[in-house]
Amino acid sequence: DDDNFYFVVQVVDDVPNQKYTGNQLNKGDSITIVFDTELEEDMQIPFYSSDDYQIDFSPGNFSDIFAESFMKWPSSAPPRGVNVASIKLANGYLLEVSIPWYNFPNYIPNDEDVLGFTISILDTDNLESTEIVISSSKIFDFNNVSTLGTIVLVDAGNIQIDEEEPEDEPAAEGTTGSTD
């Protein structure tokens, strides 16, 4: 919408492992997104510039480490106003995120904008470093924005679930609708 970028990811993970927080959270199970808000201008630039953003998200450990986010680039600080929620599943976890657009200064989202974008899932099964990375980019390299895929923003209008009026239900067998 005009205020936030939203995403939900379901991760299948046989050994959930997150013991890190803050700027270290991508050493454990985590999700990273990278945006390039001026993709056309940056097609041949392999390094991050002022219009690029890398944000890491942790599901937490479902005990004493809570779900959180950390902006690696450009600010190296937690992003403002980001909501991160996670749910432990029998075979992994579900992560739901909303990121206010104001975390991307100098960018205002518009219908049909094409942005550089990659989302990557990092898996660390009780190791000191990432074991597996699954990425939406064909070539995975956090430090090379020329390997990003793309995302197209689409204005879907005002999406709301209409509450329907309940229809009069027939009386259950053995009862009547009258009070005679």
pLDDT (average), residues 9-22 = 94
pTM of the model: 0.82
| Higher-scoring residue by pLDDT: 48, 174 | 48
Q: Which domains does the chain have, with CATH numbers?
A: 4-152 (2.60.40.1190)
Question: pLDDT tier at 158 (50, 70, 90 boundaries)?
Answer: confident
| Residue in 44, 55, 142 with CA at minimum distance from that of residue 103 | 55
Give CA–CA dist 177/162, Å, rounded. 28
The answer to whether 4 and 100 are in contact (CB under 8 A) is yes
Q: Is the pLDDT of residue 168 over 60?
A: no
Q: Is the pLDDT of residue 68 over 90?
A: yes
